Chains A and B, each alone.
Chain A
Amino acid sequence: MNPVTDTSGTAVAQDSFSKSAGRQLLIYALMSIAGVGLLMVALSWASSLTGASAGSQVAVDPKLNMITLTLAEEPPQLNSTLQTDTVSGMVIGHLMEGLLRYDHNNDLAPGVARRWENTGTTATFWLRKDALWSDGVPVTAHDFVFAWRTVVDPANASEYAFILFPVQNAEEINNGDMPLEALGVTAIDDYTLKVQLARPTAYFDKLMAFSTYYPIREDFYNQTNGRYGADADELLYNGPFVLSRWVHGANLRMEKNLNYWDADRIRLDVIEFPYITSDQNALVNLFTDKKIAYTTLGAESLETALEKRWHLNRFMDGSVFYIEFNFRSHRLTHNYHLRKAMQLAIDPAELVYKVTKIPGYLPAESIFPVWLRGVDNFFREEYPAPKVTVDIEAAKRHLAIAKRELGITEIPPLVLLTGDNPISNIQSEYYQGAFKKHLGIDIKIDKQIFKQRLAKMTSGEFDMVLAGWGPDYDDPLTFGDLFASWNLNNRGRYNNPELDRQVHIAQTEIDPRTRMEAFAEIQRIIIEDVVVLLSYERGVVYVTDPRLKGVVRRQAGADPDFTNAYIVDIAN
């Protein structure tokens, strides 16, 4: 028999205890919620003191004529002489204007200069008189002289100083061999700028749209005590927008610059950047929630985008990706037949369409991407690249010759240096598989994070390295001189006097046809001598709010460009 009465008695006592204890617990819970609520109010009050702001709440606001966007990262640098990254480049491109600019068709258009002339040895720019700084003072030729001297000043240590080297003595000054005043640029008067060129430079006018060539006013620069571009009020603007707020790491706000000479062209009043993130999920969620008017989509978000029936825009971002070989003499990849065998064994089309499968990507057929312009038309239409077709038998023949020449029976594992990101991983595994399958060559993948990969690239600790190149300016030369023997970015130390000669022609000739023929030669050498294994031209998929129109994408220069954007009010 069970002692029934006993247990029920305890149970009743226990039950009444838990009941009153439970009630007590509920009181504590309610007190906690109230306490947390108060704490949150106090914290939000405290954080409002530090200047963080919620920013805007909508993607597109037709009433305020305002759009909301994101930045992938905090702009590291808004000093145009020091800026190197694309995020800062995009922001500066909205805030400043050079002598020339790119218009909505990506054609070169007058900026601060209303007229210009390039005779080959000198370039002259006539500045408009209505171009003003945001404080109302006119932009003059002296502002360009000062900015350019600052760029090449060795003490300033600008990483983009090389882009001014077409200007006479720029390289010598940057090396510390000449004084700043020797720079070949003079302000004839306030509104005439004369540039002596170090060598005839056909594409010099295109460089004028590049941010390193933007003007800086000396008196303002000096009063910032070395903090030029560090904060919204440490920057003077002459472009379509001014930066009215910059809370570091948190948010930025651009407002239309009423002193901008072409202010009538600018149709947006405010651009808000309340979010700084590159997290794909966050971007897609913000766009879905109608908090931002534009976002790029990574491969992982495409399915979501299709489900939601978003209108996808595609765009080639202008960069080309490839495998660079190491040509240092102690490396096996120094051998032409080994490289040729590898070239014949892989198929960029297979990589792009069957392996990476990201819309917008193109198999690379040349070091010169498809968007570059030639004499009258696209360069690649005028000068098609030599075709490479997969031929495993021929590849094996080349491999046999390579082994004979190298005096080895078996190719030891080759080191493929790569970065640590999803696309590099897929790519390097594809190459690893293909070389093993078709040629029996083992590839050792050496995955490194950014700085470590750079260190190994520079010191030559690789046989092959996954690399890519994006354009600095809108001329084939931005890709064409990559493998010149003197180019520091030629990490594999490729050295071919014939290629160097062609680069020299492209750098110094003025006649477009002569230059394009030199680029065609460079294109041929890079493919026939297997300087690189071409992979892909990168594409970008992006979405914009249906009410936002006029967003311009471009390969070289500030991208994306919202200066021509406008809002259409869709009644719904």
Chain B
Amino acid sequence: MLRYSLKRLVQGVITVWFIATATFIAMHSVPGNPLANEKAVTAEIRANLEAKYGLDKPPFEQYLIYMGNLARGDFGISFTQQNREVNDIIREHFPVSATLGILAIVFAGLGGVLWGALTALYRNRLPDIVIMFLVILGISVPSFVVAAISQLSIVNLNALFDMSLLPVAGWGTIWHMLVPSLVLGLGTMAYLTRLMRSSMLEIVNADFVRTAKSKGLPATRIFTNHQLRNAILPVITVLGPSIAAITTGGFVVEFVFAIPGLGRYFVQAVQQLDYTVIMGTTVFYGAFLVFMVIVVDLLYGLVDPRVRLE
């Protein structure tokens, strides 16, 4: 177990290094000057700006300097927000995105398992049909539409009761978290519901379930220990990539609900060609996802004793 974890960790570091290098090359290949602005500046000011950000050096030297700083955990200073360190941006905004992401994952995971189990129990009956219809909607409607519609619904709801039931946008209290995280987790929840349903149906007539039934075990125990626990495995498998989708896909939700998360910086940096922020957020997200995938794999071993980690 320990050896396996270490091995995965070393592989993870190599992956992150590869991500950083690939991003660095891609970023520098994109045409356009990161320091250019709507108004042209004189050659002298341009030179001073480039010197300030180290862009006057040849690309390979820039790469070595960057990697050196990265190894020390220093992401540099943002190009567009000239007084802010990328480390500060990540430190201040990632917790917000993470909060949103954790809630969304929890909503998606719990919701997916519960709805999936429910539809499997009531297969081809009314609850199944209704939920599966909603699931199709949830998977196919993009999150920016869901976000806009749910925000409009909040406005109408508040207007209906003539009081502030839920906040329209912003961040800071429990109520600010509720709707955005539901919206963010919705697509994944729908996907997991389908997965859980088919996985439940597969084992509903499995030998061990029939054996358990014929042994006369109580229904609740068969359901929990034999059905749920086995059916949940595929769900956990896809949870890893889902975390990736949710944490990096939060941009739209953060934008619509004016949430001060990291996703906004991630996307804006690319548009603005803000080199240090692009590198900082990409490497950070990359490392985060690699780490999460390892955690999920380890978790898999705990849930399913048949899986041996070596």
A residues whose Cβ falls under 8 Å from a Cβ of B: 16-18, 20-25, 28-29, 32, 35-36, 39-41, 43-44, 46-48, 50, 52-55, 57, 70, 74, 76-77, 79, 82, 84, 154-162, 174-176, 226-230, 234, 247-251, 274-277, 279, 281-282, 285-286, 288-289, 291, 449-452, 454-456, 458, 488-489, 491
Q: When the two chains form their complex, are residues A36 and B264 in contact, meaning their CB atoms are under 8 A apart?
A: no
Indicate if B195 sits at the interface (CB-CB under 8 A). Answer: no
Bound-state Cα–Cα, A288 to B156, Å: 9
Q: When the two chains form their complex, are residues A276 and B258 in contact, meaning their CB atoms are under 8 A apart?
A: yes
- The interface size bin for chain B is 35 or more
B154 surroundings in chain A (CB, below 8 A): 285, 289
Q: When the two chains form their complex, are residues B92 and A32 in contact, meaning their CB atoms are under 8 A apart?
A: no
Q: When the two chains form their complex, are residues A451 and B32 in contact, meaning their CB atoms are under 8 A apart?
A: yes
Bound-state Cα–Cα, A98 to B82, Å: 23
Closest A residue by C-beta to B218: A20
- Given A25-B114, A53-B172, A157-B103 contact (CB < 8 Å): no
Bound-state Cα–Cα, A342 to B191, Å: 55
Nearest Cβ on chain B to A302's Cβ, whole angstroms: 17
Main secondary structure of the interface of B (DSSP, over half): helix
Nearest Cβ on chain A to B143's Cβ, whole angstroms: 13
Indicate if B151 sits at the interface (CB-CB under 8 A). Answer: yes
Q: When the two chains form their complex, are residues A247 and B82 in contact, meaning their CB atoms are under 8 A apart?
A: no
Q: When the two chains form their complex, are residues A277 and B258 in contact, meaning their CB atoms are under 8 A apart?
A: yes
A250 surroundings in chain B (CB, below 8 A): 96, 171, 260
Q: When the two chains form their complex, are residues A77 and B83 in contact, meaning their CB atoms are under 8 A apart?
A: yes
Q: When the two chains form their complex, are residues A174 and B220 in contact, meaning their CB atoms are under 8 A apart?
A: no
Known: A174-B44, A286-B168, A449-B271. 4 other contacts (CB 8 A): A21-B227, A50-B96, A159-B45, A275-B170
- Given A54-B172, A84-B39, A451-B219 contact (CB < 8 Å): no
A456 surroundings in chain B (CB, below 8 A): 31
Q: When the two chains form their complex, are residues A50 and B44 in contact, meaning their CB atoms are under 8 A apart?
A: no
Instruction: Write the B130-169 contact mask toward A (1 if CB under 8 angstroms, else 0).
Output: 0000000000000000001001101100110000100111
Bound-state Cα–Cα, A74 to B151, Å: 22
Q: When the two chains form their complex, are residues A36 and B106 in contact, meaning their CB atoms are under 8 A apart?
A: yes
Q: When the two chains form their complex, are residues B114 and A21 in contact, meaning their CB atoms are under 8 A apart?
A: no
Q: When the two chains form their complex, are residues B169 and A282 in contact, meaning their CB atoms are under 8 A apart?
A: yes
Bound-state Cα–Cα, A451 to B271, Å: 8
The stretch from B3-11, B174-182, B282-290, B294-302 touching chain A is B174-182
Indicate if B110 sits at the interface (CB-CB under 8 A). Answer: yes
- Given A279-B255, A285-B169, A36-B107 contact (CB < 8 Å): yes
Nearest Cβ on chain A to B20's Cβ, whole angstroms: 21
B257 surroundings in chain A (CB, below 8 A): 282
Bound-state Cα–Cα, A54 to B212, Å: 53
Indicate if B122 sits at the interface (CB-CB under 8 A). Answer: yes
- Given A174-B45, A452-B30, A21-B219 contact (CB < 8 Å): yes
Nearest Cβ on chain A to B34's Cβ, whole angstroms: 7
Q: When the two chains form their complex, are residues A157 and B49 in contact, meaning their CB atoms are under 8 A apart?
A: yes
Q: When the two chains form their complex, are residues B44 and A176 in contact, meaning their CB atoms are under 8 A apart?
A: yes
Nearest Cβ on chain A to B286's Cβ, whole angstroms: 22
Bound-state Cα–Cα, A250 to B171, Å: 8
Q: When the two chains form their complex, are residues A454 and B33 in contact, meaning their CB atoms are under 8 A apart?
A: yes
Closest A residue by C-beta to B257: A282
A159 surroundings in chain B (CB, below 8 A): 37, 39, 41, 45, 49
Q: When the two chains form their complex, are residues A43 and B103 in contact, meaning their CB atoms are under 8 A apart?
A: yes
Nearest Cβ on chain B to A25's Cβ, whole angstroms: 6
Q: When the two chains form their complex, are residues B255 and A277 in contact, meaning their CB atoms are under 8 A apart?
A: yes
- Given A40-B103, A76-B82, A249-B92, A54-B223 contact (CB < 8 Å): no
B151 surroundings in chain A (CB, below 8 A): 281-282, 285
B218 surroundings in chain A (CB, below 8 A): 20
8 Å CB contact of A43 from B84, B177, B220, B264: B177
8 Å CB contact of A57 from B83, B84, B152, B164: B164
A489 surroundings in chain B (CB, below 8 A): 39-40
Most interface-central of A77, A158, A282 (chain B CB within 10 A): A282
Nearest Cβ on chain A to B93's Cβ, whole angstroms: 6
Bound-state Cα–Cα, A25 to B120, Å: 12
Nearest Cβ on chain B to A38's Cβ, whole angstroms: 11
B117 surroundings in chain A (CB, below 8 A): 25
Most interface-central of B31, B99, B155, B168 (chain A CB within 10 A): B168
Q: When the two chains form their complex, are residues B159 and A282 in contact, meaning their CB atoms are under 8 A apart?
A: no
8 Å CB contact of A455 from B36, B121, B265, B271: B36
8 Å CB contact of B219 from A16, A32, A174, A274: A16
26 pairs, A vs B, C-beta closer than 8 Å: A17-B223, A20-B218, A21-B219, A22-B118, A24-B220, A24-B223, A25-B118, A36-B107, A39-B102, A40-B177, A43-B102, A43-B103, A54-B170, A84-B37, A159-B37, A162-B42, A174-B44, A249-B260, A274-B170, A275-B169, A285-B152, A289-B168, A450-B32, A454-B32, A455-B32, A455-B33
Nearest Cβ on chain A to B146's Cβ, whole angstroms: 12
Q: When the two chains form their complex, are residues A43 and B99 in contact, meaning their CB atoms are under 8 A apart?
A: yes
8 Å CB contact of B220 from A20, A70, A155, A274: A20
Bound-state Cα–Cα, A483 to B177, Å: 52
Bound-state Cα–Cα, A279 to B32, Å: 26
Q: When the two chains form their complex, are residues B264 and A249 in contact, meaning their CB atoms are under 8 A apart?
A: yes
Bound-state Cα–Cα, A70 to B170, Å: 10
Closest A residue by C-beta to B173: A54
- What are the 3 closest A-B residue pairs judged by CB atoms, nearest first? A54-B172, A230-B83, A451-B32
Q: When the two chains form their complex, are residues B81 and A76 in contact, meaning their CB atoms are under 8 A apart?
A: yes
Indicate if B203 sits at the interface (CB-CB under 8 A). Answer: no
8 Å CB contact of B223 from A21, A48, A50, A175: A21
Bound-state Cα–Cα, A384 to B40, Å: 30
- Given A76-B81, A275-B258, A286-B168, A47-B95 contact (CB < 8 Å): yes
Nearest Cβ on chain B to A250's Cβ, whole angstroms: 4
Q: When the two chains form their complex, are residues A230 and B36 in contact, meaning their CB atoms are under 8 A apart?
A: no
Bound-state Cα–Cα, A455 to B32, Å: 5
Q: When the two chains form their complex, are residues B93 and A249 in contact, meaning their CB atoms are under 8 A apart?
A: yes
Within 8 A of A (CB), among B82-114: 82-84, 88-89, 92-93, 95-96, 99, 102-103, 106-107, 110, 114
Q: When the two chains form their complex, are residues A40 and B172 in contact, meaning their CB atoms are under 8 A apart?
A: no
Q: When the two chains form their complex, are residues B92 and A248 in contact, meaning their CB atoms are under 8 A apart?
A: yes
Q: When the two chains form their complex, are residues A77 and B81 in contact, meaning their CB atoms are under 8 A apart?
A: yes
- Given A21-B121, A230-B84, A451-B36 contact (CB < 8 Å): yes
Q: When the two chains form their complex, are residues A454 and B114 in contact, meaning their CB atoms are under 8 A apart?
A: no
Bound-state Cα–Cα, A155 to B227, Å: 69
A24 surroundings in chain B (CB, below 8 A): 219-220, 223-224
B171 surroundings in chain A (CB, below 8 A): 47, 52, 54, 250
Indicate if B48 sits at the interface (CB-CB under 8 A). Answer: yes
Closest A residue by C-beta to B38: A454
Q: When the two chains form their complex, are residues A158 and B45 in contact, meaning their CB atoms are under 8 A apart?
A: yes
Most interface-central of A159, A449, A450 (chain B CB within 10 A): A159
A40 surroundings in chain B (CB, below 8 A): 103, 174, 177-178
Closest B residue by C-beta to A70: B258
Q: When the two chains form their complex, are residues B31 and A452 in contact, meaning their CB atoms are under 8 A apart?
A: yes
Q: When the two chains form their complex, are residues B174 and A154 in contact, meaning their CB atoms are under 8 A apart?
A: no
Q: When the two chains form their complex, are residues A279 and B258 in contact, meaning their CB atoms are under 8 A apart?
A: yes
Nearest Cβ on chain B to A332's Cβ, whole angstroms: 24
Bound-state Cα–Cα, A204 to B258, Å: 40
Closest A residue by C-beta to B93: A249
A55 surroundings in chain B (CB, below 8 A): 170, 172
Nearest Cβ on chain A to B51's Cβ, whole angstroms: 8
Q: When the two chains form their complex, are residues B170 and A154 in contact, meaning their CB atoms are under 8 A apart?
A: no
Indicate if B80 sits at the interface (CB-CB under 8 A). Answer: yes
A46 surroundings in chain B (CB, below 8 A): 95, 99
Instruction: Write the B252-274 contact mask toward A (1 if CB under 8 angstroms, else 0).
Output: 00011110100011000001110
Indicate if B215 sits at the interface (CB-CB under 8 A). Answer: no
Nearest Cβ on chain B to A392's Cβ, whole angstroms: 35
- Given A29-B114, A54-B173, A450-B271, A279-B36 contact (CB < 8 Å): no
Indicate if B306 sits at the interface (CB-CB under 8 A). Answer: no
Bound-state Cα–Cα, A25 to B122, Å: 12
B265 surroundings in chain A (CB, below 8 A): 249
